[in-house]
Amino acid sequence: MLIDFHTHAFPDKLAPRALPPLAERIHSEPLYDGTVGGLLASLDRWGVDRAVICNIATNPKQTENVNTFAIETLKKHRDRLSPLGSLNPECTPEFMERELIRLKEAGVRGLKIHPDYTGHTIDDPRFDAVFSLAAEHGMFLVTHAGFDVYSPDFIHASPDRILRRLERSPDAVLVAAHYGGNKQWDEVEEKLIGKNLWIDTSLGGFCGLAPAQAKRMLTRHDPEKILFGSDAPWCSSAETLAYLDSLGLSAGLTERITHKNAEALLGL
C-alpha cells in the first residue's frame, strides 16, 4: 500500500491556465497536465493506491470554489483521492466555520494552507481562527514549510515561525511539508524534529536533502508523525519512493511512512 499525501490537481478548465505560470516560476516541467484525470493516470504509472490533493485558497474570493472542487472531487473519486479544503486567513471567522462544516459534512478530512501564497506568516494572528476552528472540528492542516520560489527572499513558514504557531495553537494537528521546512533542514533538525508536529517527505531528494540527514531526521522524529509525499506534478511518487528506499529505514518505519500514518490521519 502506498499513499501519497502531497499532490496537486486543478479543475479541468483551470489547469491549462494554472500550471504554465507555476512551471515557469519554478523552472520545472510538470509530470502531468494538472487535471484530476492526469493525476490518476500518473498514480497508476507510479504504483500509488491513494493520493491527497492539496488545494489552496490563495485569496478569500476563491475559497468557496476551491472547497467546492474538493467536495466534488471526493464524491467522484472517493476510492482513490482524498482532497483537502482550504481557508484563507482573510476570510471572516463566520465564513470559515460555514465552510468547515460544509467540508466536514462532505467527508473532507483536512485543510491545506500556503503562507507564502496568501502573504501571511504562519505565526500571524490572522491564522489563529483557521487553526482554532480546524481543531474544534477535528480537521488537520497541511502547510507549505520552508523555502518557496514564490517568495525566495522571505520565508513565511520557517522553523521558528512553525514553533510559534505550535505554541499559539497547541490543539491543532499540523503537517509541515518538505521534511518540515524546504531547504532549511539544519534548522528543522535542530528545532522541529521530535516536536508535536507531522512532517511529509515531499521534495527532499528533489531539492538536495542529503540522504544521511534525511535518515537522521526520519529516525529521530515520532514514527507515527511522518507521511509519504511527493509534491506531484513536480516530483513523482516513484522517484520519492526510490529516495526513501535508499535510506535503509526499517521495514516497520517504512510501512508507517508509506501508508499506516496516512490511514490514521485520513480515518481510512
Question: How confident is the model over 31-88, as pLDDT tens digits?
Answer: 999 999 999 999 999 999 999 999 999 999 999 999 999 999 999 999 999 999 999 9
172 Rama sector, left if φ>0, alpha if ψ -120 to 50, beta otherwise: beta
Task: Provide the pLDDT for residue 22.
Answer: 83
The residues pairing with 200 across neighbouring beta strands, listed in sequence order, are: 227
Q: How far is CA 199 from the centre of its chain?
A: 9
With cut-offs at 50, 70 and 90, classify the pLDDT of residue 23: confident
pLDDT band at 21 (very low <50, low <70, confident <90, very high): confident
CA distance 84 to 141: 9
What pTM does this model have?
Answer: 0.97
Cis amide prior to 233 (ω within 30 degrees): yes
CA angle 265/50/200 to nearest 5° reads 50
Q: Tens of pLDDT along 180-211?
A: 999 999 999 999 999 999 999 999 999 999 99
Angle 14-19-23 from CA coordinates, rounded to 5°: 170
* Neighbouring residues of 254: CB distance < 8 A, sequence distance ≥ 6: 244, 245
Delimit the domains of the chain by residue range: 3-266
Query: Is residue 26 predicted with pLDDT exceeding 80?
Result: no
Q: For the domain 3-266, what is the CATH superfamily, name and number? A: Metal-dependent hydrolases (3.20.20.140)
Model confidence band, residue 25 (pLDDT cutoffs 50, 70, 90): confident
pLDDT tens figures, 86-120: 999 999 999 999 999 999 999 999 999 999 999 99
Location of C-alpha cell 497541511: 142
Q: Are 108 and 74 in contact (CB under 8 A)?
A: yes
**Cβ atoms within 10 Å, residue 141:** 25
